[in-house]
A = this chain, B = another copy of it.
């Protein structure tokens, strides 16, 4: 990958990285920090499409379709590995193994979004929040970001609300239910999950293992 790497980029929390509809000349891999993918509607409503963890590839749609379907923003300070979009094609020709990995990543993303769709469409608020926290926790655990059953979760309640299609108020109340049931304590940017099995059961999550991901 070094051949295609242009450099590294460090951005502050809150920095926009890619804009929906844009055709960025640069693609990224998140090295440190966390971010947010989201779409904005004409009336100002926001749908959070996904959370970005270290290792995530950013800009696949721009690379292959020439246009992003969502915006990307840093939630914490992030450092990004920068690639040149113009090298994208030669990448496919010269490194079929890496091209395969890229497609794999795209498939994982599609898989996740089908799951998210099911959550928003079919799960209740309690199930949905439990689902979101479970997924985040499992993902973080696979990355070694969990110690003593706790992890850094640097988002605000509005982010989760926008991810689940719920109002901020109801998200808050739902979180407090999970807290009172001793299933998930998320305060001050730290999430503690004492009983993942029960949380996942509420979420109707059938697979507690993290999906294997290729790294770009």
A residues in contact (CB < 8 Å) with B: 37, 39, 41-43, 45-47, 49, 60-61, 63-65, 69-70, 89, 92-93, 96-97, 99-100, 102-104, 106-111, 113-118, 120-123, 162-165, 204, 206, 211
Given contacts A60-B107, A103-B106, contact A39 B93 (CB under 8 A): no
Given contacts A39-B114, A65-B108, A113-B117, contact A165 B45 (CB under 8 A): no
Task: Looking at the assembled complex, report how far the CB atom of A36 sits from the nearest CB atom of chain B, in whole angstroms.
Answer: 13
Pick from B49, B61, B107, B120: contact of A165, CB under 8 Å: B120
Task: Looking at the assembled complex, report how far the CB atom of A137 sits from the nearest CB atom of chain B, in whole angstroms.
Answer: 20
Contacts A41-B204, A103-B103 known; list 9 others, CB within 8 Å. A47-B114, A47-B121, A60-B107, A61-B110, A65-B108, A106-B106, A121-B162, A121-B163, A122-B165
Pick from B46, B99, B110, B164: contact of A99, CB under 8 Å: B99
Residues of B within 8 A of A69 (CB): 110-111, 114-115
Q: How far is the CA of A122 from the CA of B49 in the complex (A)?
A: 12
Residues of B within 8 A of A117 (CB): 39, 47, 49, 113, 116-117, 120
Among residues of B, the one whose C-beta sits closest to the C-beta of A50 is B114
Contact A65 B104 (CB under 8 A): yes
Q: List 5 A-B contacts (CB under 8 A).
A: A41-B204, A47-B122, A60-B110, A106-B106, A117-B117
Pick from B99, B110, B118, B162: contact of A109, CB under 8 Å: B110
Task: Looking at the assembled complex, report how far the CB atom of A116 sits from the nearest CB atom of chain B, in whole angstroms.
Answer: 6
Q: How far is the CA of A92 from the CA of B120 in the complex (A)?
A: 35
Residues of B within 8 A of A102 (CB): 103
Residues of B within 8 A of A109 (CB): 106, 110
Contact B99 A49 (CB under 8 A): no
Given contacts A96-B93, A111-B65, A114-B49, contact A42 B206 (CB under 8 A): yes
